Each structure stands twice: as C-alpha cells, then as structure tokens.
Amino acid sequence: MLSRVAESLYWTSRYLERAEHTMRLLDINLGLMLDKSHTSAERRWLRVLAALGNPTHIKWEGEAYRLVQDLCFDPTSPASVVNCIVSARENARQIREEISTEQWQRLNRLFHEVSRARTERYSDLQFAEFLPTVIDGVHLFQGVTDTTLSHGEGWQFLQVGRFMERASATAMLLDVYHREVVRSPEESVDAYEYLEWVGLLRSCTAFEAYCKVYTADLTYERMLEFLLLNSDFPHSIRYSIDHLHRSLTAIQQESHQLNVDELMRVSGKLRTLLGYDQISDVFTTGPGNYLRRILQECHRIHDLIYEVYIQYSVQTALAL
C-alpha cells in the first residue's frame, strides 16, 4: 500500500473518532448542567478542555453554550469538531478509490450536516439535539466501513487510527479525573459526586456495561479497573490496545515490512502490560503515572507507525 494511502486512512479514522469523543463529552456535560451539584460549571468545563488537551484558541469564558459552540465550530482550532470532520473528509477524498461508495456517501452526508449546523443559528435546545446526530453519523460510518469494505490492509489501517485515538483519549480523560478527584479505592462517592462519576462512565459509553459487571455501586477502583483493564468493553484502554496490536500484526503479515520489529515490540509490550496487570498493580505504580505511561507509549507507537509505514527512508523502500 502506498504510504500516502496508509496515512489518509489512518487519519480519516482518527479524526472521526476524535469528533465523536468530543461530541460525546459535550453532550454528557450539557446534560449534567441540569442537575444541581457541588461541582461548579467552570470546574466541569475546564475539565472537559483538559480532557481534550486544552485545544488552541478555545477558552472558558463563563458561558457553557458559547464554549460548546466554539468546540464544535471554531474554524481557528484544529481540534474543533467541524475541523475534524473536514479533515476526515479531505483525507477520504484523496483516497476515494480505496474506500467504498457507501463510506464516502456517509462521510459526505455527515460533512454537510455539520456545515449546515455551523451556518444556521440554532437555539440552545436545537443545538443540544444536534450533538447526538453527529455521534450517530460517526457510528454509521464505522458500521458501513465494517460491512462494505474488504477487511484487508486498508481496513486494518482504519482500525489502527480508530483504536489509537480511542486509547489515547480515554487515557487522557481518566488522567484528568484522577488528578481532580483522588480518593481511596474503597471509598464510595456521595450523592453529588455520583453524578460526576456517572458522567465519566457515560462519556465512555460505559455506564450500562459497568452496571452489568459491578451493579450501580460506583467506586473509584472499580471504575478505573473497568475503563482501563476490561478486555471485553470496546471503549476500555485494554480492548483498544488489543485491537490496535491485532491490526498492526495483520498489516505486517500482509505488507511484509522489514523494519517493523520495534513497532511490534512496543505495541506488544503495552498489550502485555494491560493484559497481565491487575488493578492492584495500577495502584502500586500510581494511577496517574500508569495512565501517563500509556499515553507516552501511544505516542511512541504513533511515531513508529510513521517511521515504518509512512515516512520510511529511500533505502528502506528499495529493500522492499
């Protein structure tokens, strides 16, 4: 596969996953504003910004809907949802022959839906109703991808981008919550904080799945264990890294790239770490340190993907 095709597939998937994650955080936190809690609006929205990496050109100025509008439509911020959708569509357009017609139609429709919302002045109620439609649009694209695209090398690069973004975003979100509310693993949350923890689980689409495993008894240790180490839940970090490594292995088996040893070593080591560690090991290391290590390893894997498949040297290309 050409390096430009691999890069475009990788970033198409990453941008869409990023847009969905941002929209979900906004949707959940707008809903939390309806509940009176001790958590101030400023504290909650600053936490959202931190979980999104404090996007450039976007700041909390005291009004929630203004911030949500900026995070969705600010043309100056690369992290805004509209710029993520535009970037995903542009990457897909450059490799139109590599994706299915259904994929392109779904992505193009999502692009026009977001563009129309940017130009129209929605009321707060209309805007709150608009947020889930973008999430649904990304889900539809992922479903169409799985059912209309051959599960070969191109599909695997889409999976790599998707799960790389998901693992990084979830680790950053958990790190932000850990820094803000550090508690004893055995301590249960009070009524007001319960809403905040429900918000965390819902931000990862995890509340119902968590309750099926642990019931509605929310403790810091159990929530961290579920979102970090659960092997079956699609938005857990372990699940994401498992599937990331699986896709990298499939790409290597198909492409027979020569300089892939370090990439497979780093991704395999992270997969093994999450596969064998227990929550007690996480607390021995320190949850903050553990999560930041995952983020560092994800950045390292990203750099190695570029080194191996996208920006490899002329000598490497000639040796293939």
Neighbours of 232 (CB within 10 A): 9
Return d(Cα 266, Cα 300) in angstroms, integer: 8
Which residue type, as a one-letter code, is found at position 6? A
Return d(Cα 83, Cα 193) in angstroms, integer: 33
Residue whose pair of structure tokens reads 């990203």 in the numeric block: 302
pLDDT of residue 182: 60
What's this model's pTM, rounded to 2 decimal places? 0.92
What does the block give as tokens for 247? 């896709």
pLDDT of residue 294: 97
Q: 214: phi > 0 → left, psi -120 to 50 → alpha, else beta; which?
A: alpha
Residue whose pair of structure tokens reads 């992505």 in the numeric block: 107
Return d(Cα 82, Cα 40) in angstroms, integer: 28
What does the block give as tokens for 27? 């949707």
Q: What is the largest CA-CA distance in the chain?
A: 64
pLDDT of residue 189: 53
pLDDT of residue 176: 93
Residue whose pair of structure tokens reads 């799960």 in the numeric block: 163
Return d(Cα 92, Cα 99) in angstroms, integer: 8
pLDDT of residue 31: 86
Helices in 181-285 by DSSP H: which ranges?
A: 191-203, 207-214, 220-229, 237-255, 261-276, 279-285
Helices in 59-152 by DSSP H: which ranges?
A: 64-73, 81-94, 101-119, 124-148
Coil, strand or helix at 185: coil
Tens of pLDDT, residues 87-122: 999 999 999 999 999 999 999 999 999 988 888 766
pLDDT of residue 312: 60
Which residue type, as a one-letter code, is found at position 186? E
Low-confidence spans in the chain with pLDDT less than 50: 184-185, 314-320
Tens of pLDDT, residues 221-246: 899 999 999 999 999 999 999 999 99
| Contact indicator for 260, 304 with CB cutoff of 8 Å | no
pLDDT of residue 271: 97
DSSP string spanning 264-295? HHHHHHHHHHHHH--HHHHHHH-HHHHHHHHH
Angle of helix 237-255 versus helix 261-276 axis, rounded to 10: 150
- Read off φ and ψ for residue 144, nearest 5 degrees: -65, -40
